[in-house]
Chain A
Amino acid sequence: MHIFRFSRKSLGIPYALYLALFVVAPLLVLIYYAFTNGQGQFTTNNMTNFFTDPNTLGTLCYSFAIAIVTTLVCLLLAYPIAYILATSQLKAKSVILMLFILPMWINFSLRITALKEVLTVLEGNLANHPFFNSVIGMTYDFLPFMILPIYTTISKLDHALLEAARDLGAGELQAFLKVTLPLSVPGIVSGISMVFLPAMTNYVVLDMLYNSTYIMGSLIGSYFSAYNWHGGSMIALILLAIICLFTLLIGGEEDTNVRGGALL
């Protein structure tokens, strides 16, 4: 007698339970902690504290600035590279693409260490140009994540469209602006989402380069070290809200699997 009849459907149950327990429940707990104080009473103090403290507000703005500039720099570098590689006739282009993607698999902390050593020789004290160095560090870390999705989108473009544009009298530049660029927007969008959010939250890069904690993710770290779960939860919740907003704005259906895309 089988009490439990095996079916393919039931294979999903353990994973569904796992996700409910370790993805959904932690977020609910986070919301609860963000709106309570040490005595378990409801309070909005954690939120008002965040939005009235010039230090935390400054950190928020600074994080946005770093993330926006990093994303722009990555985009300006990655688009031409992806475009050149995707449209190139070279046989070795897949090897060259691999060279651009390969650093993704080297542990980021070791790569940032290498960058720090070199920058220190060039500039001396890295804390003298904090913004500049943050952008360099983050670009160094995230550039491959911008190149890959743009390359994939451009190389999948229907070449006939471009030829049609040229046949109908468009110049090279015009054909690029009216055909290639608009059609590569999905790649650009998923590249932006791969770079912008990590750049807002990845505080280790700054911390390693010049011991800075002036970025959003780092605030969680400091509350964590102080065992202030309530304040930390509020920061995490604010970050979560930014992430949700950003994902909604950019259209959540994008291919978010680029994080290890080249492996697939």
Chain B
Amino acid sequence: MSQQSVALPPQPMPPMRWKRFLSLDNRYIAPMFITCILVAGHLTFGFLESYKKTGIAIAASLLTELILGRWFNGKFPNIASAYISGISVGILVRSPAFWPYAICAIVSIMSKYVLQIKGRHLWNPSNFGISVLLFLAPETVAGLSIQWGNYLLPMLVIWILGSVIIARLHRFNITGTYVASFIAFAFLRSYISGSPWQSEIAPLTGPMYQLFIFFMITDPKTTVRSRKWQCVVVAMVALVEMILRLSHVVYAPFYALFLVGPAALLIEMWLDSRRAIPAHATA
């Protein structure tokens, strides 16, 4: 079918300028949301290790993205994703030293450009950087492991706002499936280990998980395309996390995503290539 034979739909009226001004580009919703979390968390509870450390993480992330993006693609890239990576590193990494923030941010962004297969990067950048750092630098680095102050309200606001935003981005199926799986596995862990179920649910109530479920596991570039398989993959992440947790691995969610995410993408690429062969054969 040629394009000319298709009847053109009626052209919509161009939106008024003020409406265009208020309508947010989806690319900027997540960065704005994570900025809100950062600012609200810090102003209310002194959330950050220090301004300098978070600043270093964001700056290193943006700079690496600009340099490599320009280098690889010949133009400066959109920095929204690098901003999220930088801010995630700034919040999730806890270290008295400065260097982990810079190295984690740079490694995160570089992983997008270096660890590619068929032009597609395999790991969520900040998941890669943070996992590497937690694994290789345990003497100096820990992950965020505290909660949002003493109040339920901030947590509810973030959960509701986050859910609305993720739904607008058509990725709530991922977040919802993960949370449901985590809770189910938490009860299973409680049954197996004998720990109170509240203690197994507890991590989900912390800010580390808020960042994990809204920003890391939903990353469009490192999740499979099919909505159904997105749910399957994220349930697998929760399952691997449960296995790691039963082995007392403190940073189980990061490592679970680190293991399952790329494996799912590789399988998807392999299936794509198998489908492409018959298509070529009949062309």
Query: Does B associate with A?
Result: no
- Residue numbers of B with Cβ under 8 A of A are none
